[in-house]
Amino acid sequence: MPVPRASGRRATQGSGYIRRFRTRNDLICLERTSSLRVDDEQDRLVAGGRCVLVHPSDPSSAIGSLKRGRAAADTCAVEGNAAEHLFDSAEGETPAVDDAESRERPDLAGPSADDPLKLYVRQIGDGRLLTPAEERELARRKDDGDDAAKRRLIESNLRLVMSITRNYTRADVPLLDLIQEGNLGLIRAVEKFDYRMGFKLSTYATWWIKQAISRALAEQGRTIRLPVHVADQVRRVTKARRLLGQKLNRDPSLTEIATEIGFTPERVQELIDLVQDPVSLETPIGDGDSSVADLIPDTSADQPEMTTADRARSTELLDALAKLQPRQRRVVVERFGLDGVRPRTLEEVGANLGITRERVRQLEARALRELRAIAPALELYLRT
């Protein structure tokens, strides 16, 4: 990572070193230059934990700078990049980074107006971590109604929100939106924080920040919104499924997942189905000439082959009924609802014909036998 070159205060040879640490994406080395320009951008990097300015003439200041840089690096995260290691030594030299490398690595030239995340980091990057005594004093003043103390507590923990948010990043929810939701959780935590309990604000605020981010993901992270309690159950099932898979070295069954989290297998299946992302009916298929909607049959539309078969079957049934005796035909029509009315019971048919229930049953059985003989093709529809 190159040192920004810009006009500003000038440090002479031997007056300063730039100590830098290793990030996940870049190996940042120690650099010493004979003519080093130290400008506002470098001041921002020092304050934000991106680098540490060490003066050999003042060892105590150097050690303090390293400690502050480590603390800031542990908290500050920019798009998933967090500090993992600071160089152990405060003295010594390493080869300088040449200008060619600096030209190849222009990413530290300063936040662009087109990158709101970097602008946001620049605004909060100069915040100093509070000592326990300062935190307690500000919390006491906050309880007394001091809005400035409350604001100071919030601003001093904004980098904590960024550190937590990077574990919840999803492609369908912008990172800045999640950060702002986490900031709302931080504000709530500061309002409810009680320093007399003996806990640090960061420990207490972590739970409020995570809750705010989780609720935001449940509200905004899906095309079809899930209630918060259902989203929590989905996360429990997903977590249990992953842990059991690692433990068993295979995909766990519904029963195993249900036993692990105390749900029924049916409920587990319902929650797993909710995890599936919806697919738009307009999603193109193949070369884009057709979409998913073109492959879904329309069940409400008449199928020509089915319509033709129904008409042929109706004609054959009417011809067969015409060959029965009038009383037998009436029994079949009323018992099976062929006249457009609901099917009637044996008692109802007997009352209409003035005969007993048993006689109706005998006439029905005889009529069905004759229909089977007249129209063998109707055998499937005449089974009793």
pLDDT tens, residue by residue, 305-334:
777 877 888 888 888 888 889 899 899 889
Q: State how far the Cα of 329 lies from the Cα of 281, in Å rounded to an integer.
A: 50
Cβ contact 121:48 at 8 Å: yes
Q: State how far the Cα of 346 lies from the Cα of 363, in Å rounded to an integer.
A: 11
Domain ranges of the chain: 9-111, 132-220, 228-275, 308-381
Give the tokens for residue 188. 């709530």
Give the pLDDT score at 127.
62
- Backbone dihedral region for residue 3 (phi beyond 0: left; psi -120 to 50: alpha; all else: beta): beta
Give the pLDDT score at 214.
84
Cβ contact 368:381 at 8 Å: no
Give the tokens for residue 138. 């500000």
Low-confidence ranges of the chain (pLDDT < 70): 1-114, 126-127, 170-171, 377-384
CATH fold for domain 228-275: Arc Repressor Mutant, subunit A (1.10.10)
Q: How many Cβ atoms from other residues are within 10 Å of residue 237's Cβ?
A: 24
Among 1.10.760.10, 3.20.20.105, 1.20.120.1810, 3.90.25.10, name the CATH number for the domain at 132-220: 1.20.120.1810
pLDDT (tens digit per residue) in 86-106: 333 333 344 344 444 444 444
Which helix (H) or strand (E) element contains residue 328?
Answer: helix 326-336
Give the tokens for residue 274. 């909710």
Q: Which CATH architecture has domain 308-381?
A: Orthogonal Bundle (1.10)
Cβ neighbors of 105 (< 8 A, separation 6 or more) are 1, 2
Give the tokens for residue 251. 């995909």
pTM of the full predicted structure? 0.43
Let me know if the fold of 228-275 is the same as that of 308-381: yes
At 220 the three-state DSSP class reads helix
Cβ neighbors of 254 (< 8 A, separation 6 or more) are 265, 268, 269
